[in-house]
Structure 1
Amino acid sequence: MNTDPIADYLTRVRNAIKANHRVVEIPASNLKKEITKVLFDKGYIANYKFEDSTVQGTIKVALKYHPITKISAIRSITRISKPGLRKYAGMDNLPRVLNGLGIAILSTSKGVMSDKEARQQNVGGEVLCYVY
């Protein structure tokens, strides 16, 4: 049985948001670190910290909530490309999430980036997830 580390990452974040946690710990990998950086740059998480205390290391993600309504900045985070069925998008047909209000995180030849950055750099790649 295969495990999907990216789906595990997204599920841990999703579960922490539903339980109103401030911080979530996730086992680290290079791809997960890049996804975390994209989420931080786009304002979906408050902060992050990479810790190398164990062999694998962990990522501590501080989730972002509205100060008054306590609603999370991440409304939905969905895995698109799965190990059983990979989804790729060329530079001509990059996905638009909620007509541009959300982001699609892509793994391209120039690194992990959002769909907007991929349009600017004219690259396509594997669509990892949608966030809005």
Structure 2
Amino acid sequence: MLLDPMADALSTIKNAESTGKPECIVKPASKLIGNVLKVMQDAGYIGEFELVDDGKAGVFTVELKACINKCGVIKPRHYVKHTEFEKWEKRYLPAKKFGTLILTTSKGVMTHHEASEKGDGGQLLAYVY
């Protein structure tokens, strides 16, 4: 029984990275997980990823770059103003300017760096470094 698909996806990626695999399969696929993977790809943490139809919900095949130390979901999903990112960086990231918080805003899923540049707040989804 799968309770949190996002947590399962990120733990699959983290475990595959730690064992040195070149790629992994993330299932089930969802729009939110796809958007988070796109943000991770744009930030340079993963390579290409592709949605493969398996007759059910679909799966993502993700190419790994071996540059993720840790990643995970943030529970509960805290709402954060754009002026409060530093507080959450201290809580979830190991050092300043190292790592990324991923959040969902009214303008889509983005990193906390992009959100602070645009002056947007949102709900924290995950962290990666």
Q: Tell me, yes or no, whether TM beats 0.5.
A: yes
Describe how 1:59-98 pairs up with structure 2 within 5 A. 59-64=60-65, 72-80=66-74, 82=75, 85-94=76-85, 95-96=88-89, 97=93, 98=95
Q: SS of 2:35's equivalent?
A: helix
Give the whole-Å Cα distance in 1 for the aligned partners of 2:116 and 2:72: 21
Give the whole-Å Cα distance in 2 for the aligned partners of 1:17 and 1:112: 23
Match of 1:108 in 2: 105
Paired AA for residue 58 in structure 1: V
Give the TM-score, by structure 1 length: 0.85
Cα offset, 1:52, TM superposition: 2.4
Give the whole-Å Cα distance in 2 for the aligned partners of 1:75 and 1:2: 24
Cα offset, 1:106, TM superposition: 0.4
Give the whole-Å Cα distance in 1 for the aligned partners of 2:34 and 2:120: 21
Task: Give the percent of matched residue pairs that are identical in Structure 1 and Structure 2.
Answer: 36
Give the whole-Å Cα distance in 2 for the aligned partners of 1:114 and 1:93: 14
Match of 1:68 in 2: none
Give the TM-score, by structure 2 length: 0.87
Cα offset, 1:127, TM superposition: 0.9
Q: Deviations over 1:48-92 (max 9, x none)?
A: 11122423111110000xxxxxxx210111221x2xx33221111
Runs of 4+ with deviation above 6 angstroms: none
Match of 1:7 in 2: 7
Cα offset, 1:128, TM superposition: 1.1
Q: Deviations over 1:8-28 (max 9, x none)?
A: 111111111122111111121
RMSD of the alignment, in Å? Answer: 1.6
How many residue pairs get aligned? The number is: 122
Describe how 1:32-43 pairs up with structure 2 within 5 A. 32-43=33-44
Paired AA for residue 105 in structure 1: I
